Structure 1
Amino acid sequence: MKDQAAPGDGPGATAPQRLSTRETAERLGVKPETVYAYVSRGQLSSRRAPGGRGSTFDVAEVDALARRTGRRESSAATGDLVFRTGITLIESDRYYFRGVDATELARQYAYEEVAEWLWTGDLRPGIRFTAPAEALTAARRAVDALPAHSGSTDRLRVAVIAAATADPLRFDLSREAVLASARSLIPTLVGALPLASDTSSTGDGLEERADRSGAGLARRLWPKLTARPADEPSVAALDTALALLIDHDLAASTLAARVAASAHAHPYAVVSAGLGVLEGPLHGAASGLAHRMLTEVLERGSAVPVVADHLRTGRRVPGLGHRLYTSEDPRAQTLFALLADVPQAAPALAAARDVVTTTARHAPLHANVDLALAVLSVSSDMAAEAGETVFAVSRTAGWIAHALEEYGERPLRMRPSGQYGGPRPPQPLPTPASEPLR
Structure 2
Amino acid sequence: MHDQEPDPLRREQRLSTKEAAELLGVKPETVYAYVSRGQLSSERVPGGRGSTFDAAEVKALARRNRRETGRNSGTGTDLAVRTRITLIDKDRYYFRGVDATELAARHSYEEIAEWLWTGHLHPGVTFDAPKASVSVARRAVDALPEHTGPTDRLRVAVIAAATVDPLRFDLSEEAVLGTARVLIPTLVAALPPVRRAHRDEGPLAHRLWARLSGRDPDEASLRALDTALGLLVDHDLAASTLAVRVAASARAHAYAAVSAGLGVIEGPLHGAASRLAHRMLLDVLDQGDAAPVVAEELRAGRRVPGLGHRLYTGEDPRARALFRLLEDIPQAAPALAAARDVAATAARRTPLHANVDLALAVLTTSCAMPATAGETIFAVARTAGWIAHALEEYRERPLRMRPSGHYVGAKPPQPLPE
Same fold (TM over 0.5): yes
Determine which of 317, 320, 324 is the counterpart of 1:337: 324
Instruction: Check if 1:190 corresponds to 2:177.
Output: no
Once superposed, what is the RMSD of the aligned Cα atoms? 2.5
In structure 2, distance between residues paired with 1:344 and 1:426: 68
Q: What amino acid maps onto 1:270 in structure 2?
A: A
* Residue 404 (structure 1) aligns with: 391
Contact 1:260 1:269 in 2 (8 A): yes
Establish whether residue 354 from structure 1 lines up as the match of residue 341 from structure 2: yes
Aligned residues of 2:43 and 2:53 also touching (Cα < 8 A): no
State the AA in 1 paired with 2:315. Answer: E
Say if 1:17 and 1:59, in contact at 8 Å, map to a contact too. no
Matches within 5 A, 1:66-105: 74=73, 78=77, 80-105=78-103
How far is the alpha carbon of 1:22 from its aligned partner?
5.3
Secondary structure at the counterpart of residue 235 of structure 1: helix
Find the aligned partners of 2:52 and 2:303 in 1 and give their Cα distance. 37
Normalising by the residue count of structure 1, what TM-score does the alignment of the two structures yield? Answer: 0.82
Matches within 5 A, 1:41-56: 44-45=42-43
Q: Secondary structure at the match of 2:401?
A: coil
Q: Per-residue deviation at 1:233?
A: 0.3
The 5-angstrom pairing of residues 227-376 of structure 1 reads 227-376=214-363
Higher relative contact order (CA 8 A, sep 6+): 2
* Matched residue, 2:372: 385
The aligned residue for residue 162 of structure 1 is 160
Runs ≥4 residues deviating over 4 A? 16-25, 57-62, 68-73, 75-78
Match of residue 418, structure 1, among 388, 405, 411: 405
1:109 maps onto 2:143 in alignment: no
The letter for the 2-side match of 1:404 is: L
Match of 2:126 in 1: 128
Tell me, which stretches of 5 or more residues in structure 1 are unaligned? 1-15, 26-31, 48-56, 198-202, 432-438
Q: Counterpart of 2:224 in structure 1: which amino acid?
A: A
Q: Distance in 2 between matches of 1:75 and 1:123?
A: 40
> Hey, what's the Cα distance between the residues in 2 that align with 1:351 and 1:138?
42
For residue 45 of structure 1, report the CA deviation from its aligned partner: 3.9
- Please state how far the C-alpha of 1:333 moved relative to its aligned partner: 0.2
**Could you tell me whether the CA contact under 8 Å between 1:352 and 1:375 is conserved in 2?**
yes
Q: How many angstroms does 1:59 deviate by? A: 12
Secondary structure of 1:243 counterpart: helix
Query: Which amino acid in structure 1 is aligned with residue 319 of structure 2?
Result: A
Cα gap change, 1:343/1:99 in structure 2, threshold over 3 Å: closer, same or farther? same
Residue aligned with 1:90, SS: strand
Shift of 1:74: 2.1
Match of 2:178 in 1: 180
Instruction: Write the distance in 1 (CA, Å) between the matches of 2:241 and 2:252.
Output: 14
Tell me by how many angstroms 1:422 deviates: 1.1
Matches of 1:387 and 1:102 in 2, distance apart? 20
Shift in CA distance, 195/21, structure 1 to aligned 2, threshold 3 Å: same
CA distance in 2: counterparts of 1:167 and 1:338, whole angstroms: 39
Task: State the TM-score, normalizing by the size of structure 2.
Answer: 0.86
Q: Is the 8 A contact 1:307 1:359 kept in 2?
A: yes
1:75-120, Cα deviation, whole Å (9 max, x unpaired): 6874x21110000000011000000000000000000000000000
Counterpart of 1:137 in structure 2 is 135
Q: Are residues 130 and 363 of structure 1, via their aligned partners in 2, closer, same or farther at CA, if it must alter by over 3 Å?
A: same
Matched, 1:219 2:206: yes
Partners in 2 of 1:166 and 1:59 — Cα distance? 60
Give the Å deviation of 1:210.
3.6
State the alpha-carbon separation in 2 of the partners of residues 18 and 95 from structure 1: 35
Structure 1 residues 161, 350: CA separation in 2 closer, same or farther (over 3 Å shift)? same
Equivalent position of 1:4 in the other structure? none
| Letter matched to residue 74 of structure 1 | S
Corresponding residue of 1:3? none
How far the C-alpha of 1:430 sits from its partner, in A, is 1.1
Cα displacement (A) at 1:69: 6.0
- Give me the whole-angstrom Cα distance separating, in 2, the residues matched to 1:356 and 1:105: 27
Distance 2:44 2:276 in 1: 52
Aligned partners of 1:377 and 1:387 also within 8 Å: yes
Aligned mates of 2:221, 2:81 — CA distance in 1:
37
Unaligned runs of 5+ in 2: 1-27, 67-71
User: Partner letter of residue 236 of structure 1?
Assistant: R
Change (3 A) 1:123 1:76: farther
* Alpha-carbon separation, structure 2, partners of 1:18 and 1:124: 50
**Structure 1 residues 82 and 18, CA, compared in 2 at 3 Å: closer, same or farther?**
closer
**2:189–2:200: 8 Å Cα contact kept in structure 1?**
no
- In the aligned structure 1, how far is the partner of 2:75 from the partner of 2:208? 34
TM-aligned CA deviation for residue 151 of structure 1: 0.8
Q: Is the 8 A contact 1:129 1:217 kept in 2?
A: yes
- Relative to structure 1, the CA distance from residue 223 to residue 22 in structure 2 (aligned partners, 3 Å threshold; closer, same or farther) is same
User: Aligned partners of 1:76 and 1:246: how far apart in 2?
Assistant: 30
Q: Deviations over 1:284-312 (max 9, x none)?
A: 00000000000000001100001111112
1:86 partner letter: R
Q: Distance in 2 between matches of 1:330 and 1:171?
A: 37
User: What is the rounded CA distance, in whole Å, between the counterparts of 2:317 and 2:183 in structure 1?
Assistant: 28
Q: Is the 8 A contact 1:18 1:58 kept in 2?
A: no
Number of residues paired by the alignment? 379
Aligned to 1:51: none
